[in-house]
A and B are shown apart, each in its own frame.
Chain A
Amino acid sequence: MKRAGFTNVWLPIALLLPQLSIIAIFFYWPAGWALQSSFYLQDPFGFGSTFVGFENYTDLTRNREYLRIAGFTVVFCGLVTFFSLALALLLAVKADKVIRGAKTYRTLLMWVYAIAPPVAGFMGIMFFDQRNGPITEFFQVLGWDFKLGVNYFDTATAMIMVSVWKQIPVNFIFFLSGLQSIPRAVREAAMIDNRSAAGRFWGVTFPLLAPTAFFLLIINITYALFDTFGIIDTLMKGEPGNNPMTLVYKVYLDGFRGNDLGGSSAQSVILMILVLALTVFQFRLIERRIHYT
């Protein structure tokens, strides 16, 4: 709050009212409802429900399919985060270095940000098409008989590749602006202290980028968890079958298609706790960063 705040009583309440009411109806009510139904077993024909305590949760820990999906989600998040961060960092470092065409490169490397994940997924379908997708053909040259939507591993590969492609721009933008905010004087001091460019990068630039990288780590995990839904859904062409999927997809599948409300709610709650942990972690980082500057 500002030092010399206004003292009106009703005006701020009126200003807050729209936001608070939307949040109450479309956030707290649904979230509370999810929490509640995670403790109930819904009758499959819609006639009422029975309180079952933590059964929905314990069921999940024994559900092998669920555990497999959780495992896949972890691997998926890890790979997507790693590759999109690494590639973006490489590009950002280069874009920060060149003098000519820097602006053009920035534009060319960031615009994919605006493409919707399912559109990227649809493009993926074309590129990984079993008969004549260009990437499939390329893999075949390498001796890899790539089968999207049939082979679990192949489908997962496609999902990861498309997700990485879609996420590079965001990371690139953040890394580039992180690099550009490193004071000139610091770089010049490093130039004097260290002859080797690689040495300067790992000794000076990278540590200074670390806050950005940490922040991006969270952003990317969140992206891989939630925003890839559209990519996954389109790449499996809406047919879950034996295809790889993430936890969020499973929530949607069980709740919306499978009508297992209790189980799906329990999964939602587990995800909520996961995101909560991530966010608390992130807030810690932000706090630390504010203290730096």
Chain B
Amino acid sequence: MAQVSLSNIRKVYPNGFEAVQPSDIQINDGEFVVLVGPSGCGKSTLLRMIAGLEDISDGELRIGDRVVNDVDPADRDIAMVFQNYALYPHMTVEKNMGYGIKNRGASKEEIARKVAEAAGMLNLTEYLTRRPSQLSGGQRQRVAMGRAIVRDPALFLFDEPLSNLDAKLRNQMRIEIKALQRRLGTTAVYVTHDQVEAMTMADRIIVLNGGRIEQIGTPSQIYHNPASTFVASFMGAPPMNLLEGRFDNGTVMINGGTALMPSPLQRSGPITVGIRPEDVLLEPTGPLPFQVDIVEELGAHRLLHGRLEDQNFTVHVDKETHVSPGALRIALKQDALRLFDVKTGQSL
């Protein structure tokens, strides 16, 4: 068990590309932290620096109370689960799981005991003598997990471990991994570009964008109080509605001129107004006209896609509410409105 601290960590690849800008992250003991962001934003780079597979260009990395910048991956007391699992194809499940501790000089009995224990946890006991090629995708994923568990590390690192699985298996493994981590109490850093995974698994989420940290917070903070328009539109499906608006005479208006709320700030000029689709109410007497173009049926609820005064807008309604395309009137929940700076995209 360990806490992890990154101070001013930076990565510049040999070709001069700055993949991670100087970043500070504190990860508490036993915490499950998810790194999320669009493709190419530097998630894997950051994770691989923690693992020791990539040199750290600048800054200091501590695992526990040890500075590990120059420590070999094998000596960092970590375990990693890769996207393609990276199982050794010529070794049986048992050998795969035991290889790490065997190299650290564990005795035969100890290896056998730990492997059996991990296999039990992961329902792999009957597959121990098979090779990876004789397993299904989900089973391989479990073996990769098992390999990590057997090492009993201070820190788990996951790089998109579920992205090669189908949707159903992904949901199931998501829960299993989280439960396992809870049970073992091991600190974990988990990389994904799937925001559902991030929301459901994380104690805290770190949103990365273009090598920069956009926001660090609990799933609820990230969802309800996004620090920027980027986070607002990246997290949540469908994303937060972002409307062009402006400050005028102490009120916030959208471009059509409808006043939305009294301005909390002494300011005038353009502004971006954000609201989650589920924070919109259908009211026949509502102040805003909403033109529904498409109704997306999702079973548990419906999404109404359309235009609010010529700006794209989405509304979430429950399954009891039947709507057909056409004109409607809506109201926005006042306390759910979020304001962002137009230029920087930062929350105000």
Contacts and interface: CB of A to CB of B under 8 A. Distances in A.
Contacts of B54: 3-4
A35 B54 CA distance: 46
B180 interface: no
Chain B interface, >50% SS class: loop
A4 B53 CA distance: 6
Interface in A1-24: 3-4
Interface string A117-137: 000000000000000000000
A4 B74 CA distance: 13
A3 B45 CA distance: 11
Contacts, number: 4
Contacts of B53: 3-4
Contacts of A4: 53-54
Question: Size range of the interface on A?
Answer: under 10
A93 to B, nearest CB: 33
A117 B271 CA distance: 82
A4 B47 CA distance: 14
A155 B68 CA distance: 75
B97 to A, nearest CB: 22
A72 B218 CA distance: 80
A4 B80 CA distance: 14
A82 B310 CA distance: 68
A4 to B, nearest CB: 5
Contacts of A3: 53-54
A4 B54 CA distance: 7
A5 to B, nearest CB: 10
Interface in A69-128: none
A77 to B, nearest CB: 43
A163 B46 CA distance: 59
A166 B54 CA distance: 52
Nearest to A4: B53
B199 to A, nearest CB: 31
A44 to B, nearest CB: 58
Interface string A7-48: 000000000000000000000000000000000000000000
A3 B14 CA distance: 11
Nearest to B72: A7
B261 to A, nearest CB: 51
A6 B53 CA distance: 10
A3 B73 CA distance: 14
B138 to A, nearest CB: 27
A4 B72 CA distance: 11
A2 to B, nearest CB: 10
Nearest to B73: A4
Interface string B48-60: 0000011000000
A254 to B, nearest CB: 51
Interface in B41-92: 53-54
B57 to A, nearest CB: 15
A4 B44 CA distance: 13
Interface string A227-264: 00000000000000000000000000000000000000
Interface string B12-54: 0000000000000000000000000000000000000000011
A169 B53 CA distance: 46
A191 B73 CA distance: 54
A6 to B, nearest CB: 10
A228 B294 CA distance: 73
B53 to A, nearest CB: 5
- The 4 A-B residue pairs with the shortest CB-CB distance, nearest first, are A4-B53, A3-B53, A4-B54, A3-B54
4 contacts: A3-B53, A3-B54, A4-B53, A4-B54
Interface of B: 53-54
Interface of A: 3-4
